[in-house]
Copies of this chain bind each other. A is one copy, B any other.
């Protein structure tokens, strides 16, 4: 039994067949554990090259762990992390950053989920005041939790601002592939202004793997130890590596993301003009945020699985995935239209 027909999340999708195929392929005999195997070497080398990451790449098991490990390379406990109030880090990680990092998140309301130099600057007033957590890391999400994307120019501006202010820049890249697909740029282009970022496999068609990409060489030394201490060093790492090798094969990572984005675009296009339905955010990846009347939401949720994102604001989130079909989108658009007509 599976989920109701779903625009619930890209992590409700299964795994891409290239991922499972590669996992089966590496299942041959003994291999050195903890990443000493040739597949891990290869996957990390390929990722490192794609990102231009001088500090190397580490595979971990969850998105939360990628964020926490990535940021842990950049700060000490008395230092804080500036992030949008909507950040996954702040909202959806059950306090993992506070517990594991021992640090405070310094949040900024950001209506489109995006930080700007001005928003960051609004949180820098207390530097030097010994009673206040000292901002050290700026954490953005690319794609944001609202499905929006930073442009390359915006990323460069953030990077320059951070450097000029002595801050480090981290990006939660749980949906980084979708951003690259949207922007039509390389992963290295996105990564260039960052100190550390994550690259999500799971929402891109993997079974469960994320990469922590360390751009700066001087941050690399402690990373393997921190990964272990943060309980993310898996012994049979070849099966993590295999997932990325599957996604990297024939650029499936990009094709998966592109397809998901296209399906979101198709969905958004189909919704335009439906009475009562309004897009709440720009559609720049594989997410469509829309507001619609509560009665419509209720009726649609009887048949379809998706999140009511913000109840007072009547905002819902519809996510597409690498395996969303045009037929599925069209059927859903019809359902929304029908609901609008009937309700």
Query: Which A residues are within 8 Å of any B CB, using their own CB?
Result: 1-3, 5-6, 8-9, 11-15, 17, 20, 23-24, 26-34, 37-38, 61-65, 68, 76-80, 91-96, 98-100, 102-105, 130-134, 202-203, 207-208, 222, 224-236, 239-240, 305
The one of B1, B31, B131, B305 in contact with A228, judged by C-beta atoms closer than 8 angstroms, is: B131
Can you list 25 A-B pairs, Cβ within 8 angstroms, ordered by A? A2-B37, A5-B30, A9-B33, A9-B235, A12-B31, A12-B32, A14-B31, A15-B236, A20-B23, A23-B23, A61-B61, A61-B231, A61-B234, A62-B231, A62-B234, A68-B231, A77-B95, A92-B132, A93-B228, A94-B133, A94-B225, A98-B102, A99-B230, A100-B231, A230-B231
**Complex alpha-carbon distance, A279 and B230, angstroms:** 36
Shortest C-beta distance, A5 to chain B (Å), equals 8
Shortest C-beta distance, A302 to chain B (Å), equals 16
**Complex alpha-carbon distance, A63 and B231, angstroms:** 8
Give the nearest-CB partner of A231 in chain B.
B65
Q: Which of A2, A13, A78, A105 has the most CB of B within 10 A?
A: A78
Shortest C-beta distance, A211 to chain B (Å), equals 15
Q: A11 with B229: in contact, given A30-B6, A93-B131, A104-B95 (CB under 8 Å)?
A: no
Which chain B residues border A233 with CB–CB below 8 Å? 62, 64, 130-131
**Complex alpha-carbon distance, A109 and B236, angstroms:** 30
Query: Is there an interface contact between A31 and B15, defined as CB atoms closer than 8 Å?
Result: no
Which chain B residues border A31 with CB–CB below 8 Å? 2-3, 12, 14
Query: Is there an interface contact between A239 and B207, defined as CB atoms closer than 8 Å?
Result: yes
Query: Is there an interface contact between A132 and B94, defined as CB atoms closer than 8 Å?
Result: yes
Query: Is there an interface contact between B98 and A235, defined as CB atoms closer than 8 Å?
Result: no
Query: Is there an interface contact between B96 and A225, defined as CB atoms closer than 8 Å?
Result: no
Shortest C-beta distance, A106 to chain B (Å), equals 10
Shortest C-beta distance, A11 to chain B (Å), equals 4
Query: Is there an interface contact between A94 and B131, defined as CB atoms closer than 8 Å?
Result: yes
Which chain B residues border A65 with CB–CB below 8 Å? 231
**Complex alpha-carbon distance, A104 and B233, angstroms:** 19
Which chain B residues border A20 with CB–CB below 8 Å? 23-24, 27
Which chain B residues border A95 with CB–CB below 8 Å? 77-78, 80, 102-104, 133, 229
